[in-house]
Amino acid sequence: MIKLEDVAKKAGVSVTTASRVINRKGYLSEKTIAKVEGAMRDLHYSPNAAARSLQGKSLKLIGLVFPTIKNIFYAELIEKIEQGLFKKGYKAMLATTEHEEEKEREYLALLLSNQVDGIIYGSHNLTTDDYTAIEAPIVAFDRLLTADTTVVSSDNLQGGKLATQTLIKLGCQNIAIFTGNDNTNSPTRLRREGYLSVLTELKLNAHVIKIPSELSVLRKQAEIQKVLSENDFDGVFCTDDLTALLVKQRAQKMNQNLHVVGFDGTEYVENYHPDLTTIKQPISDLAELLVDLLIRKIKGESVDKSYQLPVKLHYGE
């Protein structure tokens, strides 16, 4: 737990001055206020959290930080995490960052001010120093926050290979990959590496198409139509199911004979789009492992830094 002395030291002021800034007592220059408040933000210091710590109270509260719940994969994963936490006696507080740095920063400060016992992180908009400064136990999903952060993910590399090999078996020779945000600091990049490794081995040309995940559905549809109209792909591997569904729909409207493989395999896709071939992530197992690891870290137990769970092919065509 960050102490008031740490804030004062970082701001270059006395503890008394730092306390006066926090409690707004006496005369304070704008420069001094800015230095202390800046140190508080950098250190994620919260007076409320510090007070609860002194009282020795735990709220049994876990913060969940994810980009969005609009993506059905995140929605299903978050639901199962929350259910798992509740069974273990914990409650969840959800923060969705929408890929915005300032939004993540403010949500993180809110979580820490409520003295969460730990955080399950599925977002990444801040710097390594920001994450290193967090004292609460963290387990990340598909995000390499720091060199010491425990990360849980599916076998993205094998998933990328499996998707590409499936398209090859369907007779495809001109295969593209449609990726979302190309975050080189995320295990999801390995889906692209798996795709590239298969094509390299077979001496086939690669086509990496980036469709940012934050685009609206209409903009994604327009971008997909433009790409498909300018190329003669016979196979497309999409690194998420929602994009895969858009590609299939657009190709059908353009009367293109196109094989498509997605990635995620949510219950929603399985129930409402069973015809979609996709790489299925073990969502229930991922949620259970994230909850188990975080609780073990809260209890002070040691855990490994990396955990990978296998994926499966759901063949829908």
CA-wise closest residue to 263 among 185, 187, 171:
187
Read off the pLDDT of each residue in 205-225 and give the average, rounded to a whole number: 93
User: Residue 153 pLDDT > 80, yes or no?
Assistant: yes
Residue-wise pLDDT for 71-86, tens only, equals 999 999 999 999 999 9
Read off the pLDDT of each residue in 294-302 and give the average, rounded to a whole number: 95
User: Residue 54 pLDDT > 60, yes or no?
Assistant: no
Residue-wise pLDDT for 99-111, tens only, equals 888 899 888 877 8
| pLDDT tier at 44, thresholds 50, 70, 90 | confident
Q: Tokens 């593209």 correspond to what residue?
A: 176
pLDDT reported for residue 51:
54
Q: Is 49 exposed, middle or buried (0-12, 13-18, 19+ CB in 10 A)?
A: buried
Higher pLDDT, 171 or 2: 171
Higher pLDDT, 249 or 23: 249
Read off the pLDDT of each residue in 238-253 and give the average, rounded to a whole number: 96
User: Residue 228 pLDDT > 90, yes or no?
Assistant: yes
Q: What predicted TM-score, i.e. pTM, was given to this entire model?
A: 0.82
Read off the pLDDT of each residue in 37-60 and give the average, rounded to a whole number: 71
pLDDT reported for residue 184:
61
Length of the chain: 317
Q: What share of the chain is helix, strand, coil (3-state, %, to 5)?
A: 50, 15, 35
d(CA 314, CA 317): 9
pLDDT reported for residue 259:
97
| pLDDT tier at 160, thresholds 50, 70, 90 | very high
Range with lowest mean pLDDT among 112-116, 167-171, 185-189, 201-205: 112-116
pLDDT reported for residue 182:
63
d(CA 61, CA 93): 7
CA-wise closest residue to 3 among 22, 29, 27, 25:
22
Read off the pLDDT of each residue in 235-253 and give the average, rounded to a whole number: 96
Long-range residue pairs from 84-92, CB within 8 A, at least 24 positions apart, any chain: 84/287, 84/288, 84/290, 84/291, 85/291, 88/291, 88/295, 89/60, 90/60, 90/61, 90/62, 90/117, 90/295, 91/59, 91/60, 91/61, 91/62, 92/61, 92/62, 92/63, 92/64
Half-sphere exposure of 198 (CA within 13 A, CB side): 26
Higher pLDDT, 11 or 1: 11
Read off the pLDDT of each residue in 251-268 and give the average, rounded to a whole number: 96
| pLDDT tier at 213, thresholds 50, 70, 90 | confident
Provide the percentage of residues in the chain whose pLDDT is more than 90: 67
Rounded to the nearest integer, the mean pLDDT of the chain is 90
